[in-house]
Structure 1
Amino acid sequence: MTEIVPFAGSILCDVQSELGEGPTYDPATDTAWWFDITGRKLHELQLSSSTKRVHDLPFMGSVLAVIDPARQLIASDLGLFVRETASGKLTSLCPIEQNPANRSNDGRVHPCGALWIGTMGRAAEREAGAIYHVSGTTVTRLFANVTIPNSICFAPDGATAYFTDTPVNRLMRVAIDPETGLPRGAPEVLNDQHGLPGGIDGSVCDADGLIWNARWGAGTIDVYRPDGVQIRRHAVPATQPSCPAFIGVKADRLLVTSAWQGMDDRARAADPAAGKTFDLGIDVNGRAEPVFRL
């Protein structure tokens, strides 16, 4: 059993999101962004000034990526949208899929500028979702029959992708083309956590190739080597951490979102920080997220 490193960090945001998810960071403006998916909110936190804003959304957003200094990409239950950063104006870019019963979930931009985005049933219906590759407005389905797509991230050289279906709880890897972000072979199991407590949720891969994974239901951030060996567990003061992101101009800090989704009053009372957003309080060798290329 891997020893759990006690939490030595801080609360970045006291707002308790029902389903905090999809954190990212824009180094050009020193701003962290994340969603409350079910609350239809986009959170914005300028780190150096601690200025916080919350933007209402007309859809369930789950992933944000920078396009250029003036525009962002948002993945949602209604498809992909371009958001004007200054005004918040939204323009439809393209659908992800044709099933209106689904919503977007976890996703991340590959170093080539293409997006991997997962979809799922709004009530997590079994095998209702999929994982897609988006290049500009060209959408390609990569993996079907996914229940809760998560842990999408990429090795620093862009030649390996990682992902999971959380109910299955196996961290997967697949060789991909560094130039396109498209798979070159079949996925294989990197680490099998099936049947163990907690679920593999969102992940991010650092400059050394380590995979930092939020363990939903276990209150930890787990760290895996590229060969799949788990080497550390860091405690988070919320039972349901959902996704990490590297923040800071040096990408040397780790933000973690969390959720209170599915908790009754008793569970929420026992987990008073559920839904808050944290700084893990450790030094990491992170890297900036790539921009999405239209």
Structure 2
Amino acid sequence: MSVAIFDDRPCHLGEGPLWHPLRQQLFWFDILERRMLSRRDGAALEWQFDEMASAAGWVDADTLLIATETGLIRFDPGTGRQERLADIERDNAVTRSNDGRADPMGGFWIGTMGKRAEPGAGAIYRFHGGEVRCLVEGVSIPNSICFREDGRLAYWADTAEQRIFRTPLDPDGWPEGPHELFLDLAPEGIHPDGSVVDAEGGLWNARWGAGQVARYLPDGTPDRVIDLPASRTTCPAFGGPGFGRLFVTSAREGLSAPHAEDGTVFELAAPVAGRPESRVRL
């Protein structure tokens, strides 16, 4: 399978790719360097923040909801204007935001973690209707936040535990049952990072340290594995015409001798089409 470099700017910790369906534009983050990146009409774009930022959802053609180190902000990529909407662990200097995604009911899920990956320091929250509610506590490295198309099932992972879980959701998008184990990847030595669900319900997961993206069927059966030129793949996203392209961010964090490809964003034809990311309803 042919893999191309979509953007060759090396990220220290590339994460949070989001294809904006109205702008037809990919956004992603370099968390540790406090910047958001993008490309449009062939031009490389970049926005610098005063604190770490890690994930985003789209609100309308001119507005993103961005998760930062201390909360959620409304952001206009055209003007750079930002407005704080909610605090999340603002008084906790140990943690920062990590993986996040909008759910089909218009809410936004965001995980927090220790800046030094302190065990159990993080949590997973949901922002909906102006309210922030903690859903999961004691998470070390929250990742893989994504949703079944009907919004009645959420996936999430603790990378440190090497496990992906799923949570049944009620019609408003709130958990209505206990968290269930979806995949235990510890026996294979796999550390699951970010994930996204395709149009057929398959879960695509980036494998930190393995240089791979793997697809799992809804029942957890492994379907396929794609090798990439960077060892620390972090998160996949679908985009492009018909959501037929797969983009994958990567990182060079912790690598003593990174290659040129480490930290770049990759692009390839998606073997299975994706679907548009849900809109955040403020």
TM-score over 0.5 for the pair:
yes
Following TM superposition, by how much is the alpha carbon of 1:113 offset from its aligned partner in structure 2, in angstroms?
A: 0.5
1:43-77 per-position Cα deviation (integer Å, ceiling 9, x unaligned): 0112xx22221111111111111111221110010
What TM-score results when the alignment is normalised by the length of structure 2? 0.96
Q: Does 1:215 align with 2:207?
A: yes
Percent identity of paired positions between Structure 1 and Structure 2: 41
**What is the 5 A alignment of 1:79-158?**
79-97=71-89, 98-158=91-151
Is 1:188 aligned to residue 180 of structure 2?
yes
Aligned to 2:9: 15
TM-score (norm 1): 0.93
Pairs aligned (count) = 281
Deviations 1:67-108 (A, max 9, x none): 112211100102100112310111111112242321000011
| d(CA) in 2 for partners of 1:84, 1:247 | 21
Note the C-alpha offset of 1:243: 0.3
Quick check: 2:211–2:232 contact (8 Å CA) kept in 1? yes
CA deviation after TM superposition for structure 1 residue 151, in Å: 0.4
Indicate which of 38, 41, 66 corresponds to 1:44.
Answer: 38
Aligned to 2:276: 288
Q: Separation in 1 of the partners of 2:75 and 2:14?
A: 20
CA distance in 2: counterparts of 1:54 and 1:19, whole angstroms: 15
2:192 matches 1:204:
no
Q: Distance in 1 between matches of 2:246 and 2:202?
A: 13
Deviation at 1:194, TM superposition (A): 1.4
CA contact (8 A) 1:254 1:284 kept: no
Distance 1:28 1:132 in 2: 26
Specify which of 15, 18, 25 is matched with residue 24 of structure 1: 18
Quote how far apart the aligned CAs of 1:195 are. Answer: 4.0
Q: CA deviation at 1:233?
A: 0.4
Cα distance in 1, alignment partners of residues 200 and 94 from structure 2: 39
Mark the runs of 5 or more structure 2 residues left unpaired by the alignment. none
- Alpha-carbon distance between aligned partners in 2 of 1:22 and 1:225, rounded to the nearest angstrom: 22
How do 1:263-278 and structure 2 match up within 5 A? 263-265=255-257, 268=258, 271-278=259-266
Q: How far apart are residue 142 of structure 1 and its match? A: 0.6
Aligned with residue 27 of structure 2, among 26, 30, 33: 33
